[in-house]
Amino acid sequence: ESATPSYDSQLGGRVVFDRNFVIPVEVLPNATERVFGYIYSVSTPREGAVLAWNPESFREMRSKEYISDGIYFGFLFSLVFFNFALYLTIKQISHFYAGAFQLCIGLILFISLGYGPIFVFPNYQIFTIPAIGIIFTCAGLFSGLCSISIFHMKESNKSLYDIWRGVIGFSALQIPI
């Protein structure tokens, strides 16, 4: 007897609310089941791993991952907040650029680890890949602006300043629209 799981329209048809596609398959003890899956990739051919967990082990493993990810992102976004607070306090623009760069890198990691379809684009998974491209380009722009600001290139080395401006301008053209 085969049971077809009911797919939720949110989260791209995911059955289990998780950052990865998790499909529950119930197998009776000492029984053999064949599970077939089709993996669709937007860009290049990929291989997908199939892991079998019992529900308790899966929940325990995911809880540990979510706690460690929460600590990591909490630390990262506290650094972003710290840089923005420094900018508001001492009015040095390099802290704003550094905070914006850290925010972009944090968003890229957040979306790439699978949290994007859950928290950022719950009904619009198609925006995930273009969003990573746009945020990545913005990260490059903010890192260049931060470098110019920290090293005072405009005053100290005019030719290097012009080169960096050209690199930043070229990077701005790379934003996928």
Identity of the residue numbered 8: D
Tell me the mean pLDDT in the region 149-175.
83
pTM, to two decimals: 0.75
Helix axes 93-110, 55-90, angle to 10 degrees: 170
- List, for residues 49-101, the tens digit of each pLDDT value: 777 788 888 889 989 999 999 999 999 999 999 999 999 999 899 999 999 99
- Res 40 pLDDT > 50: yes
Residues 70, 115 contacting (CB under 8 angstroms): no
Residues 114, 20 contacting (CB under 8 angstroms): yes
Higher local confidence (pLDDT), 76 or 113: 76
- Res 38 pLDDT > 80: no
In degrees to the nearest 10, what's the CA dihedral of 150, 151, 152, 157?
-160
Identity of the residue numbered 12: G
Reported residue count of the chain is 177
